[in-house]
């Protein structure tokens, strides 16, 4: 376990964000994020 207050905060934040990522993957949000990223990238290049 990390030492100090900042080490503990960092540990819990990383664990919380990993849980959020796993929750998003479990609910199928990866396809929605991928579609938005592709459309944004295509619009930046002027194709879409």
The overall pTM is greater than 0.85: no
Q: What is the pLDDT of residue 2?
A: 56
Q: What is the pLDDT of residues 1-48, one digit of tens each?
A: 557 888 889 999 999 999 999 999 999 888 888 888 888 887 787 775
Which residues in 13-35 are b (16+ Cβ under 10 Å) and which e?
A: eeeeeeeeeeeeeeeeeeeeeee
Q: What is the pLDDT of residue 27?
A: 93
Q: What is the pLDDT of residue 15?
A: 97
């Amino acid at each position: 376990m990390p030492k100090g207050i900042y080490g503990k905060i960092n540990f819990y934040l990383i664990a919380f964000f990993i849980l959020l990522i796993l929750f998003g993957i479990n609910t199928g949000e990866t396809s929605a994020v991928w579609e938005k990223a592709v459309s944004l990238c295509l619009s930046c290049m002027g194709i879409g």
